[in-house]
Structure 1
Amino acid sequence: MKNDRRARIKEVADRLAAAFVSSGALPVETDSLLPADVLLDLYGEDIRARAFVTHDPLHGEQMLRPDFTVPIVQRHMAEGAEPARYTYNGNVWRKQTGGRASEYTQVGYELFDRTDPAGADAEVFAMFAGMLAAYPLKVMTGDMGILLAAVDGLTTTDRRRAALRRHVWRPTRFVRLLERFGGMTPPPETRVALLADVAARGADAVLADAGAQQGMRSAEEVLARIAVLQEDSAAAPISAEEVEMLEQVLALKAMSSDALVQLRQMAADFPALVAPADAMEDRLKAMAARRVDVDNLPFEVSFGRTSMEYYDGFVFGFSAENCPDLPVVASGGRYDALTRVLGQGRSIAAVGGVIRPEALVAVQEGNL
């Protein structure tokens, strides 16, 4: 019966939450309705298509809670002292495809501690790995910080680096930009024609002949955009060597210890990778100290690029290998950049993760 299954889900959720509490986490509650403007600033308009939005006559546009991380970060930055550990157990709402439930339970753990990032990463991962060890799950780890550092180290304009960073979580768009910035694909013909016309007659004359204004952009905004296109057109392409290096970083996939060796080899030719390699080495040492077998821990730089948009460092995920139709069972990682956005420039080192009890119950049912 449906109620029996709900009871099993609640039992699993309560057990997981109790385990986090016994590890020192403070249980917290958050509002179910959250201000939409905060989430839109963080995720962009993409979140609007996935979240349930309503309008309150007093508080304006609101969203049913799509996750717990944002309100917990806000609460900690307003009230908390470090180090701090929190856990939560409740429902979230997201529009789904493929017949998945739009309302489901999340149980999570968040750790705020800037004194030892590697130790914090290891603590959270080892805790999740231990709690999920009895289930037939496939684990994967990654590090968004490696890819972001590689982008930051490119010899190109600030605008191009910013564009690549912005689309790191959109692999197809990222590759297209890299190919264009590297001179492997030509710019659109319409852009070439526009810039040629601007070079011949000046931007003001081109705009004056464009006809009646359409859309929401002002003439000043259009002229500013033309100036950006001119700057980009004049920039030298990213070198073939750096494009190849970035492609090697994207393709890095091995067991964690071997991946670190390969990353060190890349860093010898590309110094921007030295710092993330150092961070990875510290993290693996901290994990090994917690009895994580890092020699047999899968690692992939590109892991999480399509589903973990606010993570900017170490990431991990647990999935049901024998149940490919299930959503990810558990996931998490480091999200220092998110705290910087919510703190208006004041950042707090943060790492955490979430478990979906419904998925765990489905895994159990599939193995009965």
Structure 2
Amino acid sequence: MTPTARRDALRALVSAPGVTLSAPPILVPPAAYFDLAGEEFGARMILTQGTDGTEFCLRPDFTLPIAIDHIASGAATPAAYGYLGPVFRQRADGPTEFDQGGMELLALPDADAALDKIIAFARSVLDIYGVTAPHIRVGDIDLFETLLAACDMPDVWRPRIRARFGHPEAMSALLDRLANPHTATSGPVGMPETDIADWVRELMLTNGLSLTESRSPEEIAQRYLEKQALEAAHVPAETIDLLRRYLAISGAADTALAQIEAMRGLIDLPLDATRRRVDQLRLSGESSNLVFDAAFSPRLDYYTGITFEMTGQGRGVLVSGGQYDRLLQRLGANEQIPAVGCAVWVDRLEAEVRS
């Protein structure tokens, strides 16, 4: 099949009956990306300004603009969107403009059926490009969040640990910190917030620092008290060990899930849904390279449930997908809306054909 024929087949897939072919503007407001994707993603965006000073970015993906448009047309209305076109990101290993295709299923009432459709879509894309034995990595965010909710720890630490899920280095550093808390705290201990603010103000003036050009003494005092409260909120060593053991689990899917089940003496996790989702991926094609990675997650906290990525013989992810039920609500919908999607990297797929 020629590159043109493959492109045509992919376009037919993302505009199949019942699927709306979406084409968001190339220039989009960057605020949602900074709010939801964070500084790491923001650093890769290509920013520009209109003549009136309005800030835009070149479209770095399709998912957020599609979700924003869907909310405007009725967030709770079931819909399927396909897309195929250029996205723009700064990359160290390739051009800043490259083609991305994909599908987003929003507000479908049957989450399992929606996931089936997304996995079938991923398989169809790989078939177009002749990728017959992909390496598949799958994770389950719901499983980790269930574990985190059941762990013995002060509640103040749960959102901080969750925020580092999918960031192995940051998670490791935080668990190290929790395992070895500071025994001494510099500064005034036990003072009221107003007294701490006065102490900070005096230090700033003594050292020639402005009281207005950066954070105020009151803001610094409040952050200091928050830090003191965190340091005083001790996380049991058994909990830290449990989290480390869970996050270290990665390997052949059946073996990895058996390892999680063997932890039932320490904590009881519901694995039926996870096994069913793993089987959905297994049934999408013959694959002896199906890995369950307990620590795997996109670095975006609106993802929920299953996430997966598929690679071929070359380097780089060819297809990635997952559930992101919190996204539409984070963008302004009145309630949580079920959502699942899949993105495909056309340039990498074409390179896979040539390899």
From 223, 226, 229, the counterpart of 1:228: 226
TM-score, normalised on structure 2?
A: 0.86
Once superposed, what is the RMSD of the aligned Cα atoms?
A: 2.9
Q: 1:328 aligns with which of 308, 317, 321?
A: 317
Q: 1:140 aligns with which of 137, 142, 145?
A: 137
Q: Distance in 1 between matches of 2:100 and 2:183?
A: 45
State the distance in 2 between where 1:309 and 1:358 align. Answer: 27
Q: Is the 8 A contact 1:53 1:62 kept in 2?
A: yes
Match of 1:43 in 2: 37
User: Aligned pair in 2 of structure 1 residues 58, 218: CA closer, same or farther (>3 Å)?
Assistant: same
Q: Which of 78, 81, 89 is residue 86 of structure 1 equivalent to?
A: 81
Q: Percent identity?
A: 28
Equivalent residue letter for 1:167: R
Alignment of 1:262 with 2:262, yes or no, is no
Aligned partner of 1:165 among 145, 158, 162: 162
Matched residue type, 1:18 = A
Letter in 2 for 1:245: L
Matches within 5 A, 1:3-42: 11-22=5-16, 24-42=18-36
How many residues end up aligned between the 2 structures? 345
The residue number in structure 1 matching 2:100 is 106
Whichever residue aligns with residue 200 of structure 2, its letter is L
Question: How many Å apart are 1:150 and its aligned residue?
Answer: 2.6
**Deviation string for 1:42-89 (max 9, x for gaps)?**
122333310000112447211110000001111122215543211001
Q: Which structure 2 residues correspond to residues 194-343 of structure 1 after superposition, within 5 A? A: 194-196=187-189, 198=191, 202-212=195-205, 213-214=209-210, 216-236=214-234, 238-267=235-264, 269-271=266-268, 273-274=269-270, 277-284=271-278, 297-305=290-298, 310-321=302-313, 323-324=314-315, 327-343=316-332
SS of 2:296's equivalent?
Answer: coil
Residues 174 and 124 (structure 1 numbering): CA distance in 2 closer, same or farther, change over 3 Å? same
Once residues 222 and 268 of structure 1 are traced to their aligned partners in structure 2, the CA distance between those partners, rounded to angstroms, is: 44
Cα distance in 1 for residues equivalent to 2:281 and 2:113: 8
Which 5+ residue runs of structure 2 have no aligned equivalent? none
Q: Indicate yes or no: 2:60 matched with 1:60.
A: no
Q: Tell which deviates more after alignment, 132-141 or 327-336.
A: 132-141
Q: Report if aligned partners of 1:139, 1:319 keep a CA contact under 8 Å in 2.
A: yes
Indicate how the Cα distance of structure 1 residues 71 and 55 shifts in structure 2: closer, same or farther if over 3 A, else same: same
Would the alpha carbon gap of residues 105 and 10 (structure 1) be closer, same or farther in structure 2, given more than 3 Å must change?
farther
Structure with the higher fraction of residues in helix conformation: 1
Structure 1 residue runs without a partner (length 5+): 1-7
Q: In the alignment, which residue of structure 2 is the partner of 1:174?
A: 171
Normalised to the residue count of structure 1, the TM-score between the two structures is 0.83
| Cα separation, 2, equivalents of 1:58 and 1:355 | 35
Residues 143 and 301 in structure 1, CA contact (< 8 A), matched pair in contact too: yes
Whole-angstrom distance in 2 between the partners of 1:224 and 1:187: 19
Cα distance change of structure 1 residues 118 and 296 upon mapping to structure 2, 3 Å threshold: farther
Task: Give how far 1:10 is off.
Answer: 5.4
Q: String of CA shifts for 1:20-46, please: whole Å, max 9, x gaps.
A: 333632211101111111211112233
